[in-house]
A and B are shown apart, each in its own frame.
Chain A
Amino acid sequence: GQQLNQSPQSMFIQEGEDVSMNCTSSSIFNTWLWYKQEPGEGPVLLIALYKAGELTSNGRLTAQFGITRKDSFLNISASIPSDVGIYFCAGQLPGAGSYQLTFGKGTKLSVIP
């Protein structure tokens, strides 16, 4: 099936540092979304992107929909301990249902106080 290659798989950073993670694919996506999952919980939507080139911010989070429609990145500025969790990118392939998303394998973020 279609795959989203998400990197890095894990990150250990100091509190206050900026973080960057990305997803790439050989396929074009109509939509890119970024979710965060904490232990014992389901994923929570952080940012949704709908147009190629779109750059959207949500507080300290910024994400972009790549021009080629095959990639997206998420940046977190000035990380804090509550940023700990697993971050997933997800996308909707052309022809797929609106809620039939393809997910990356996740980036596990650890923040050292």
Chain B
Amino acid sequence: KAGVTQTPRYLIKTRGQQVTLSCSPISGHRSVSWYQQTPGQGLQFLFEYFSETQRNKGNFPGRFSGRQFSNSRSEMNVSTLELGDSALYLCASSAPGAGANVLTFGAGSRLTVL
């Protein structure tokens, strides 16, 4: 069974640009969550999607957005990039019956903003 797949694994952008990250969840998983991981702040919740609807949102500015498609694949977008957006962006998928709160993470997309 394939795990959570995130693309691209690494990318470099400059300030002011925008970026789109993609996540393919485990087959059958309908919930997709996104987290930002930085050395200073650790892992912080961005948002969670289920059946193409955003169910929960963390405390991030509106420059951070996401969406989910009918096949459960998800994308997140960051517009007007700032240096502080450099981070590892982790996607995780979840399935009912797998245990409450159980997240299966992908390997992440490492974004560097110059």
Where the two chains meet, the residues of A that have a C-beta atom closer than 8 Å to any C-beta of B are 1, 31, 33, 40-45, 48, 50, 88, 90, 92, 96-106
Contact (Cβ within 8 A) A100 B58: yes
Interface residues in chain B, defined as those with a beta carbon under 8 Å from any beta carbon in chain A: 4, 31, 33, 35, 42-45, 48, 55-56, 58-59, 90, 92, 94, 99-108
Q: Is the interface of B mostly helix, strand, loop or mixed?
A: strand
Give the contacting residue for A99; candidates B33, B44, B59; CB below 8 A: B33
Classify the secondary structure of A's interface with B. Answer: loop
Interfacial chain A residues near B35, Cβ < 8 Å: 103
Q: Chain A: which residue is nearest B31 at the CB level?
A: A99
Decide if B100 touches A50 in the complex (CB within 8 Å).
yes
Partner of A43, one of B31, B44, B101, B105: B105
Cβ contact within 8 Å between A31 and B101: yes
